[in-house]
Amino acid sequence: MKMNDHLKEYRDESSLAIEPKAFSKQSHQFWTIQIAGWLGYALVVFLAIIRPQFGTPGFNLSGQITNLFAETMSGFVLSYLQWLFIGKVVHLPLNRTLFLSFTFAAFLGLIYNIIKLSSFKVIVYDQHWNEAWDMLEFGGWLMFSLTTMFAWTSIFFIMLYNTQLQKEHERLLKAQTLAKDAQLQMLRYQLNPHFMFNTMNAISTLILKHENDKANEMLDKLCEFFRYSLDFKAKTTTTLKKELELLELYLSIEKVRFGQRLNIKLDIDDKALNCQVPNMLLQPLVENSIKYAIEPRKAGGTITIKAHPLNNQLVLTVLDDGFGQDEQNKKGFGIGISNTESRLDAMFNGNYNINLVSIDEQGTSVEIIMPVEK
């Protein structure tokens, strides 16, 4: 799926306040809260109302316990009905969903109050269900019943919106990751024209010099390089081991041009080989070293590539023994260094360092320090 499709999906999904399908994914959480909540309700009522009456004249313990069970179970059923009702209206605009939900909660609170008061009269005092009711008593019980149903409604909405918030956060991270991957791909593709221009220019030079065999060999190796790189075109990162394999193909192309003038030394710690690095991280840096340390010198030179882990960081170094970079030649490092820095910044959000040290007649060193990712 393309990035635009992912972002469209993100926009479409995030337009809903609460997704109706959230209910099907919250069954376990709902029943956990439902059971734990009503058990806690029963415990509080027992400790706060029933327990203090122990030992009082005419106290009916079995009736109180039975009534508490009936009160708790009826509340359990009514709160479940409230959950089902919310599931029916959740697709509506938020203000309408809240209005209907709390209105229905008030209705359930009234029903709950009648059940509680009737149960209390019948079970505890063995009276008729509506015997000796008065407005003061009914009103006092009603406030508690309404508060209970309103509390459960609030808990349900908090639970739903907490889940929705987590999903929105996951979608945001997904969108940010897609954007970062797109940026890394764009920066990587920026290298291809630059690399192609230099390579084709070198092949053209060989043809003009009538070194056709070298030109053909270089063209064959260029095709091999791109066949290999196409296998990783969709990836923004790779292991250092794979990166070195790709670099070896690139260097085989350059060795056709420079022969014995180009010397490569590798100092790679085995522990660093599985670390993740941006794809084609080393190639532009080595290309710069070839341009400014090997090409201008008849005797050629040596490029040293080092890699080792250090304190949960990976240290990569590309070092040459060329002339060093004066102010004019430093401009040639523009694409290589700026592209590398942009890709590292997109991948590690600033948590990296690039140190460029260039000394006249002593060569240039590019050191990259970045977090270890495996």
Q: What is the mean pLDDT of residues 1-6?
A: 45
- Is pTM beyond 0.85 here? no
Of 27-36, 87-96, 124-133, the one with minimum mean pLDDT is: 124-133
User: Based on the domain organization, do 125 and 258 belong to the same domain?
Assistant: no
Q: What is the predicted pLDDT for the residue at 327?
A: 42
Confidence (pLDDT) at 181: 55
Count CA within 13 A, CB hemisphere, residue 106.
Answer: 5
- Given phi > 0 = left and psi -120 to 50 = alpha, else beta, which region is 314? beta
Please give the helix or strand (H or E) that residue 366 lies within, else none: strand 363-371
Rounded distance between C-alpha atoms, residue 205 and residue 208, angstroms: 5
Spatial contact of 175 and 10, defined as CB atoms under 8 Å apart = yes
Residue 199 lies in a domain: no
Opening angle at CA 58, ends 57 and 64, nearest 5 = 120
Residues 7 and 154 in one domain: yes
Q: Residue 79: is it exposed, middle or buried by C-beta count within 10 angstroms (0-12/13-18/19+)? A: buried
Q: 254 with 125, same domain?
A: no
Based on the domain organization, do 156 and 215 belong to the same domain? no
* Residue 328 burial by Cβ neighbours in a 10 Å radius (0-12, 13-18, 19+): exposed
Report if residue 205 sits inside a domain: no
pLDDT in tens, 256-304: 878 889 999 999 999 999 998 888 788 888 888 888 888 888 888 999 9
Ordered DSSP codes for 112-154: HHHHHHHHIIIIIT---TTTT--HHHHHHHHHHHHHHHHHHHH
Integer Cα distance of 120 and 117 in angstroms:
5
pLDDT of 219 reads 85
Residue 190 lies in a domain: no
Question: 340 with 278, same domain?
Answer: yes
48-101 tens-digit pLDDT:
888 888 878 877 788 888 989 999 999 999 999 999 898 888 888 888 988 999
257 and 153 both lie in a single domain: no
Residue 184 lies in a domain: no
Mean pLDDT of 300-323: 91
One domain for residues 148 and 248 = no
Q: What pLDDT sits at residue 105?
A: 93
The reply to whether 260 and 329 lie within a common domain is yes
Within-domain flag for 189 = no
Tell which of 174, 200, 219 closes a domain. Answer: 174
Judge whether 324 and 363 are in contact, CB under 8 Å: yes
Picking from 152, 174, 196, the residue at the C-terminal end of a domain is 174
Domain boundary among 174, 194, 223: 174
Query: Does residue 216 share a domain with residue 360?
Result: yes
β-sheet bridge partners, residue 354? 368
The length of the chain is 374
Is 181 domain-assigned? no
Q: Report the share of the chain in percent with pLDDT over 70.
A: 76
By CB atoms closer than 10 A (0-12, 13-18, 19+), residue 155 is middle
Q: Are residues 215 and 326 in the same domain?
A: yes
- Residue holding tokens 């990259």? 368
Same-domain pairing of 156 and 280: no
CA-CA distance, 340 to 309, in Å (whole number)? 19
The pLDDT score that the predictor gives to residue 341 is 81
In a domain, 65, yes or no: yes
Q: What is the CA radius of gyration of the chain?
A: 37
Q: Which domain holds residue 162?
A: 3-174
Q: For the domain that residue 325 is a member of, what is the CATH number? A: 3.30.565.10
Q: Do residue 141 and residue 42 come from a single domain?
A: yes
Determine, yes or no, domain membership for 185: no
Q: Which residues pair with 305 in a beta bridge?
A: 266, 318
**Alpha carbon distance 153, 107 (integer Å):** 12
Neighbours of 156 (CB within 10 A): 23
* Tokens of residue 69, six digits: 């069970």
User: How many distinct structural domains can be found in the chain?
Assistant: 2
Measured CA to CA, the distance from residue 86 to residue 270 in angstroms comes to 59
How far is 170 from 124, CA to CA, in rounded Å? 53
